[in-house]
Structures are given as structure tokens and as C-alpha cells.
Chains A and B, each alone.
Chain A
Amino acid sequence: MMAGFSNAAVLWPVLVPIAASALCMMLWRAPRWQRAVHLAALALMLAASLLLLQTIGRHGVVALTFGGWGPPFGISFVADRLSAAMVAVTAALALAVGVYGLASTHRRQVRNGVYPLFLGMLAAVNGAFLTGDIFNLYVWFEIMLITALGLLVIDKSRAQLDGAMKYAILNLLSTLVFLLAIAILYGAAGTLNMADLARVVPDIGDSTALTVASALFLVGFGIKAGYFPMFFWLPASYHTMSIATLALFAGLLTKVGVYACFRVFTLMFAGGEALREAIAFMAAGTMVFGVFGAAVQWDVRRILSFHIISQIGYILLGLALGTAAAFAGAIFYIIHHIIVKANLFLIAGAMHRVSGTYDLRRCGGLMRSHPLLALLFAVPALSLAGIPPLSGFWAKFLVIDASFKADAAWLAAVGLFVGLLTIFSMSKIWIEAFWKRQPVERARSRAVPLPMVLGIGALALITVWIGIRPEMLMRYSDAAAASLVEPRSYIATTLDEASITAPAGGAP
């Protein structure tokens, strides 16, 4: 295959973690080597994703089709600005979590294969972001599911088995619904390549099959992403995981569902025009019920799990509005949210390390004993609530501004109200864990290990940096949204590989 260097950039973010995962499995009996390979792979993955980002900056869209078949028949990998950004954030997050894991991963977890599973899941996540073939997307979803299940039960504790069962059944159902949608779409359009589908589907016109398929896509991805009437598996299982894994899940897995939703609906179903009202109600429900669910919980991890859902609602808001500004806001929101949410879970792990519990009623006094941890908690917590000048303020501002401009004031009102309740939850953690006096005296105070501080600090720095200099990311998400609204260059580049060598002009 005469693929140029720039096209191959699409492949590395998937190939590196898969190869490293295989290597880790070969080193099954050498935990130290496994750890070294895992860290090296995460660093390489970050380099690969930055290379991809740079390539995208030059060419706009890059595509690569495998196996010597022409584009609509062979499986394609396509990267546009949205997927490149997702891959880059994934790599940055994975490296931070990997460094943090040096202090939180137990020997028993390593013996049970946490490293190969971790890398395998990253490969699946990147594969889902980069694939240009809808059946291939299904395959990546399944790889993600099986590795996620392995990570979920890594300690084999009672709570994990219980949580994993709920996770497994509902996520299996979601992938089956997704597969059913693919089958119906294939029956109607006769192709599986997403760019080809984007070309073919608008010509089919009004068709029951397409309406059914789009509704099934919404349900299938909705279960994955944690949309309103289908999110129950998430807070029932997430909080049982080991904390580094949990941070990665919280940051990435739901966002893969959201990404797939954006990709499929913008490419094939004209921004989900037919389902717009339903999506708007789902977005409002997701925001409100997530935040109410969090209000009554006492376990830090459960509070934060419910908050994942309410924040997903803001992102879904972008799809519900369907304007370019709303998409740009949603993309900004996704990137901000992945970093902040994962960081909050990492901090919850550090709080557990120093206080011995996740239950807010039993911990306290951390402000006095660990002031640095308190500062590091304040950054993502205030960012999540949308306090300027942190990244969450700009993300919420963009989304809510877009909903006012699209004459959806009620959605903006829901968003603002939920932002207020988010502050309630964050201040609940702050008051209980940091301000309150310690309810039980501890014999000796434990320090937060250095790798944990490094991981948390790196993510907090990104949050602050986005908050202070949001223009760059705003410009980037504007460009990414423009290519979602007008996917001409995505389609042209995928279907006609010859055009890759020339810089993609045409679309902005």
C-alpha cells in the first residue's frame, strides 16, 4: 500500500496501544516490565496523537483504507478535527492516569492483568474515534465493552461483581440495539462506509427504515453515553471500580457514546432533524436527573458518577440545538469535561488514600492536613460548576449562549439551574471532606504519594490553561463544528484517497 506518511498518522494511535497490550500479555509474569511497557506506550500514544493533530492541522481530513480494497468497500480510518481532538485528549488523560496509577495500582491487580486490559481499552477507544466504517465502529464498541468488563471486576470483590453484572447486561443490550440499527441502515442504503452513507442516505428521502434506524442509533449510543431515560447502569456500577480505572472510564467511555452520536447524526441524519425535540427533552432530563441523583449521595464516587450524567446533558444540548455554534460549544465541553471529570475521580482516590474512606460522613479535616490537595480539588470542582476563569465557565458559556441564540431559552434556563445545583454538590464535598473536623482521629497522617500529585497536577494545569487561554480551543472547536455541519471534505477525502496528497481546500 502506497499510503503516504501523513495518512499513516491515522493508524498509530490505535496500533501503539494494541501492540503494547500484546507485549504486556507476553510479559505476563514480569510485572515490572509490564509497567515499563505500559508507560512507554502511553508516552508514545501521546506523541502519535500529537502527530495526528499536526497532520490534521495541515490537511483538514486524513483517511486511510485497508486491505487493498477501494474506499467504499475496504474498512477506512478517517480523522477530522473532532476525532483528532478526541484522540489527543484520550492520550493526555491516559498518560496522566498511567502516572497516577504508579501509586494506586496494586500488585494483585497487575497479576490479574490490569495493564493489557487498560491498553486494550485505549486502543478500542481510539479505534472508535478514528474508524470511518460503521460496522467497524460496532466492533470497537465490543472490544471496549469486553476490556471494560475485565477492568471492572479486576479485584473480584462483591460490589464489583454486582456492578459488573448490571454494566454487562445493559451494555450488551446497547450494542445489540446499535447492531440492529446498522442492519436496518444497511438494508436501506446498501453500504457501511460512513462517508458513503453520508452521500447515499440523503437521496433515499423519507423512509420508515431510516427513521427507525436513527431512533435505534439514539437509543444504542444513548445507553453507552448515559442519556436520560437510559443512564441507570452508570451510577450502579462505576463507583465499584478501582480508582485509576474509574477515572479513565468516567473521562472516556461515555464520551465515546457521545462522539458516535455526533458522528452518526451529523453525517447521516442531517443533525438528527427528525428527533430534535426528543433529543432536547433527553438533554434536559439528563442534566436535571443527574444532578438531583448526586444530591442525596454520600459516597464521593457516586456523587461524581451522577455528575457525569448531568454534564453529558450539556453536551447533548449541542446536538439538540444543531447549530454550528452549538456543536462548537459541545466539542469544547467534551474536551473540558474529559479532563475535569477524570481529575475529580483521581482526587477522590487521593482523598481515599489519606482519609481511608470514600464516605463523606466519615472523612474530614483535609483542608488543614493536606492544603495542596484542597487546592487541587478546588480547581476541577469550580471548573465543573462553571466558575470563571476556569475551563468550565467557557464551556457552559458557549453552550448556553448557543441555546439562547437558537431560541431555546428553556434549555438555557435548565442549564443554568443545573449549574447552580452542581455548585451545591461540589460544596457538599468541600464542606464535608475539607472543612469539617475529622470525625475519627487517625493515628498517623498519610501523605499523598508523588505520582498521584503529578497526575492530578498535570490535569489541573490543563484546566487552568484552557480557562486562561480559551481562544485557541474555541477556534479549534469552531473549525471542528464547521466540518461537522458541512461534512463535504470528510466525504471527499474518504472516498477519494488520491485527494489526500493535495491539501484539502474547499470546506473551511
Chain B
Amino acid sequence: MNLIYAAGFSAIMAIGLYLLLSRHIIRMIYGVMLISASVNLVIFLAGRIGPNPPPVMMLGETMLADGSANPLPQALVLTAIVIGFSLVSFVVALALKTYRRLGTLDSRALNDAEALGSPFEPPRPGKARSDEERDS
């Protein structure tokens, strides 16, 4: 059974990695989301899933019944989902801002950071001061 799960998770992760290799930022973000989903599933599987009774304690008991499900992975996955969600939202907002500012999301065309102090083109003295240098 675990093998089937593992195959499924690795398929999701492979799709995520494939998307991550794309040149388009939005596809990369989809890739990160898919990998994140697959990692969350791995955490879930690491807690041993199966037909177990839910981890509920009756009033007065101090220990879980033998063989009940592991409650920890849920807490971990929940934390990971929340964190992943907030980061992905940030990156999507960043992508939107980038698109509005630079007019493209093709990573080949995004090279404003690389251009600073590049060894390949000598600086032109008359050139307007770049956006980055204006702030001081």
C-alpha cells in the first residue's frame, strides 16, 4: 500500500519539478505549490496511515488507546500548509508586481538585477541613473 502512495506522491513531485524548470514565473509557482503538496503528503505518510481508530481520549483517560492513529502529522501538515499558503500568496503578489513593473514574467527577460555592474558592458557616463541608484 505504501508503495502505491509513494508512487503517487513522487508523480506529483515530478510534475512540480517539471513545472519548476519552466521559464515562466507563474508555472514555477505552480511547481512550488505541487511540490509543497507532495511534501505534506509525505509527512502524512510518515505518521503511518491505515485503518486506525481516531486519536480521541475519553474523559478521565490519560493515554491514547493502543493502535489509534498518530495525531502529530496532522498538526505538522496543518502548520506546513498554513506557512506554504502564506509564502505562495506572497510570491504571487510579487509576480503581479513584477508583471506590472517590468511587463513580463519570462525569466529570460528578467535581468535587471544582473545588469548592475555587469562585466560585459562598460558603463556609459551619460546614462540616466538607474532606478536602483536613485534612492540615495
Residues of A in contact with B (beta carbons under 8 Å apart): 104, 106, 108, 135, 138-139, 142, 145-146, 149, 153, 155-166, 168-169, 172-173, 176, 179-180, 182-184, 186-187, 192, 236-237, 239-240, 242, 296-302, 352-353, 356-362, 440
Residues of B in contact with A (beta carbons under 8 Å apart): 20, 25, 28-29, 32, 35-36, 39, 42-43, 45-48, 72-73, 76, 79-80, 83, 86-87, 90-91, 94-95, 97-98, 101-102, 107, 110-119, 122-123, 125, 130-136
Dominant secondary structure of chain A at its interface with chain B? helix
Nearest chain B residue, comparing its CB with the CB of A439: B125
Nearest chain A residue, comparing its CB with the CB of B120: A296
Q: Given the complex, which residues of B lie within 8 Å of A135, measured CB to CB?
A: 76, 79
Q: Which of A138, A240, A353 contacts B132 (CB 8 A)?
A: A240
Given A176-B32, A180-B42, A359-B123, A146 and B117 contact (CB-CB distance below 8 Å): no
Nearest chain A residue, comparing its CB with the CB of B33: A172
| Residue contact A361 to B116, C-beta cutoff 8 Å | no
Q: Given the complex, which residues of B lie within 8 Å of A176, measured CB to CB?
A: 32, 35-36, 39
| Residue contact B46 to A302, C-beta cutoff 8 Å | no
Q: Given the complex, which residues of A lie within 8 Å of B136, measured CB to CB?
A: 104, 106, 352-353
Q: Given the complex, which residues of A lie within 8 Å of B28, measured CB to CB?
A: 169
Given A142-B83, A168-B94, A179-B80, A162 and B113 contact (CB-CB distance below 8 Å): yes
Task: List, sorted by A's number, 7 A–B pairs whose CB atoms are closer than 8 Å.
Answer: A149-B90, A157-B131, A162-B111, A176-B35, A239-B117, A240-B113, A298-B119
Q: Given the complex, which residues of B lie within 8 Å of A160, measured CB to CB?
A: 113, 132
| Residue contact A440 to B98, C-beta cutoff 8 Å | no
Dominant secondary structure of chain B at its interface with chain A? helix
Given A106-B135, A159-B132, A176-B36, A166 and B123 contact (CB-CB distance below 8 Å): no
| Residue contact A146 to B110, C-beta cutoff 8 Å | no
| Residue contact A236 to B113, C-beta cutoff 8 Å | yes
| Residue contact A139 to B83, C-beta cutoff 8 Å | yes
| Residue contact A163 to B113, C-beta cutoff 8 Å | yes
| Residue contact B20 to A173, C-beta cutoff 8 Å | yes
Shortest CB-to-CB span from A422 to chain B, Å, is 18
Q: Which of A155, A158, A179, A182 contacts B112 (CB 8 A)?
A: A158
In the complex, A356→B136 CA distance in Å? 8
| Residue contact A139 to B79, C-beta cutoff 8 Å | yes
| Residue contact A146 to B90, C-beta cutoff 8 Å | yes
| Residue contact B43 to A162, C-beta cutoff 8 Å | no
In the complex, A242→B48 CA distance in Å? 47
Given A139-B79, A183-B46, A157 and B110 contact (CB-CB distance below 8 Å): no
Nearest chain A residue, comparing its CB with the CB of B95: A165
In the complex, A139→B112 CA distance in Å? 32
Q: Given the complex, which residues of B lie within 8 Å of A183, measured CB to CB?
A: 39, 42-43, 45-46
Nearest 4 A-B pairs (CB), nearest first? A299-B117, A187-B46, A163-B113, A183-B43
Shortest CB-to-CB span from B123 to chain A, Å, is 6
Given A149-B94, A184-B46, A161 and B133 contact (CB-CB distance below 8 Å): no
In the complex, A145→B87 CA distance in Å? 9
Shortest CB-to-CB span from B88 to chain A, Å, is 8
Nearest chain A residue, comparing its CB with the CB of B130: A159
Q: Given the complex, which residues of A lie within 8 Å of B76, measured CB to CB?
A: 135, 186
